[in-house]
Structure 1
Amino acid sequence: MGFHLPLIFALLSLAAVALANHAAQPAPQFYWNSVLPNTQMPRAISELLHPDSTNEEKSTNIMNALGNESPTANFFRYYASADNQLHHKNVAYFFLEKDMRPGAAMNFQFPRNSNTATFLPRESAQSIPFSSNKLSEIFNHFSVKPTSVEAKTIKKTIEECEASGIKGEERYCATSLESMVDFSTSKLRTRNVQAISTEVLEKGATMSMHKYTTMPGLKKLAGDKLVVCHKQNYPYAVFLCHTIKQTAAYVLSLKGDDGVKVKAVTICHLDTSEWNPKHLSFQIVKVKPGTIPICHFLPTDHIAWVPNRKSA
């Protein structure tokens, strides 16, 4: 059998292109594509990827990476806590399932977390200490003074990552996209998953308060167990992930009074009996722990992981 040189050259060219494409991809994105080839990457993750993410310098620019945390973020993280909770009587941070009916209106805002930190490849992240016992090493690594605001932010994030959760909750701080994928898929016991985040579909003044009206087309996501990952303030992208049982997850279409449309991921907690009775949610919806489900939107930089529906 003779050699067909044009065919061989064509195949070699295709292989070279494929290798070049792989090389151009950030390591975290390459891992996502290899482990979750059928899962669309949500905006909350894709915005944290850069072709040069192997260059640690971009992520270690503390002044640019660390920002002011979303004012709504803590409302959704620590259901056992009642500390440091702001309250605005005109804002529906928490609501009931009936409030998701078409035509219902509530005041809300969908601010962006000003933390611009991007993902490091897992190998780079693992080479940097991440422990309250290693704070001096961490400060030295990022050239941060121990008495600075940046140092306090780093310390607070690590302490939150090391804190225990409520009964039945499994918590994990993912210091890389690869570790987030591994934790989420292992807890859901499948790689056939959806990863979804709240998205503002049109440009608008999301930092300001608006009245949003619920539109038709409520979609319930599969499963009664999910993993939710919340972006932390840190020099590189770190997400506090935790498993949540006895929940229902929805995608809700909203339209603001300014015309801006939002695809809002909504979590309804079916069992709140383990929550702190003084938690803000009970003050807003005026119910007692363990009585009826309480719902909330996910901020735009949080990610919900749910299993895909099984095919019929």
Structure 2
Amino acid sequence: MNAVGNGKPIDHKGKPENTVLPQLARRPFSYKSDDRPTDNQLHYKNVAIFFLEKDMRPGTTMSFQFPRNSNTATFLPRERAQSIPFSSNKLPEIFNHFSVKPTSVEAKTIKQTIEECEAPGIKGEEIYCATSLESMVDFSTSKLRTRNVQAISTEVLEKGATMSMHKHTTMPGLKKLAGVKVVLCHKQNYPYAVFYCHVIKPTAAYVLSLKGDDGVKVKAVAICHLDTSEWNPKHLAFQILKVKPGTIPICHFLPTDHIVWVPNHKSA
């Protein structure tokens, strides 16, 4: 498992020191209505992050990159996070707290992250934005109905490995994690660590080994959504794979700073 919350220090007022928020961008892991592909979605289309279950067979080769989120902000303790507003109707207070100009890119990023956290999901999807590690653990264990859980992330196994595009070959040893109910937590662009966590049933999680054409090995977490019937038909995944909603499971790798929570095998 990758460490959660490593990054730049937080000062005593709960403000990140020299944290630069990334450019405004949507993630491709929101399955709500979105009729118009954004620059970020087109970027993900180019790296072909979505694939089919059959593509996890040993010997299959796919082109991928495993980009890291440039927002290295750390978690705040729960008490401190709860003391800072996190609501679209409190934006002026939030901007003031972080000394952000309302017209800046940083302000737009903050506003978008909060609005996405407040927006309803697709039918059957449960959403929660965790503003502290404690709240993420509480949400995950409550949805999995056990405190005997494990948190797993994708790991690039070589230090200093490049994050550019490479062809990756699936190696033997595919491992399916317990159950068909998992909690996915995606790192968001925010001054401190915020994770967009959601539960979409049924979902399967796998761990597999990949080897890049540059020799770099990746311990990758793959998520397969078994029922896509409620997804927006114009979602990026259908554009990439040329399939229709509800016809076939759709899989994707987790970026290196995202997390999947699953029951331990002993409790499954």
Structure 2 counterpart of 1:123, from 76, 79, 82:
79
Q: What's the CA shift for 1:245? A: 0.9
Greater C-alpha Rg? 1
Distance verdict in 2 for CA 1:160–1:200, change over 3 Å: same
Partner of residue 255, structure 1: 211
Distance of aligned partners of 1:219 and 1:264 in 2 relative to their CA distance in 1, 3 Å threshold:
same
Equivalent position amino acid for 1:75 in 2:
P
**Distance across 1 between alignment mates of 2:21 and 2:44:** 26
Deviation at 1:203, TM superposition (A): 2.5
**1:75 is aligned to 2:34:** no
How many residues end up aligned between the 2 structures?
265
| Over 2 Å off, 4+ runs | 52-57, 76-83, 87-92, 203-207
TM-superposed CA distance for 1:175, in Å, is 0.6
Other-structure match for 1:165:
121
Partner residue of 2:233? 277
Contact 2:10 2:16 in 1 (8 A): no
Give TM-score, length-normalised by structure 1: 0.79
Amino acid at match of 2:242: K
Q: What is the match of residue 2 of structure 2? A: 43
With the length of structure 2 as denominator, give the TM-score of the two structures: 0.92
Q: Which amino acid aligns with 1:208?
A: S
Whether the aligned pair in 2 keeps the contact of 1:77 and 1:230 (CA below 8 Å) is: no
Q: Is the 8 A contact 1:65 1:115 kept in 2?
A: yes
Where does the alignment leave 5 or more consecutive residues of structure 2 unmatched? Answer: none
- The answer to whether the Cα contact below 8 Å between 1:173 and 1:241 also exists between their aligned partners in 2 is yes
- 8 Å contact from structure 2 (residues 131, 194) kept in 1: yes
2:257 aligned partner: 301
* Partner residue of 2:57 out of 101, 104, 117: 101
Which position in structure 1 is the counterpart of 2:184? 228
1:67 positional shift: 2.6
The alpha-carbon distance between structure 1 residues 89 and 115, as it changes in their structure 2 partners (threshold 3 A), is: closer
Partner residue in 1 for 2:12:
55
Amino acid at match of 2:240: I
Q: 1:254, 1:264 within 8 Å by CA — same for their partners in 2?
A: yes
Of Structure 1 and Structure 2, which has the larger fraction of its residues in helix?
A: 1
Cα distance in 2 for residues equivalent to 1:263 and 1:148? 38
Unaligned segments of structure 1, at least 5 residues: 1-41
Greater shift in the superposed pair: 292-301 or 75-84: 75-84
Change (3 A) 1:110 1:88: closer
Structure 2 partner of 1:16: none
Q: What is the rounded CA distance, in whole Å, between the counterparts of 1:122 and 1:182 in structure 2?
A: 11
Give the conservation status (yes or no) of the 8 Å contact 1:75–1:93.
Answer: no
User: In the alignment, is residue 66 of structure 1 matched against residue 25 of structure 2?
Assistant: no
Deviation at 1:284, TM superposition (A): 1.4
Following the alignment from structure 1 to structure 2, what is the Cα–Cα distance between the partners of residues 141 and 261? Answer: 42
Name the amino acid aligned to 1:77.
Answer: S
Identity of aligned residues (%): 79
String of CA shifts for 1:214-258, please: whole Å, max 9, x gaps: 000000000111100111111110111111211111001000011
Aligned to 1:199: 155
- What is aligned with 1:14? none
State the SS of the aligned residue for 1:253.
strand
In 1, are the aligned partners of 2:35 and 2:234 still within 8 Å (CA)?
A: yes
Output the amino acid matched with 1:140: N
Instruction: Find 1:113's aligned residue among 63, 69, 82.
Output: 69
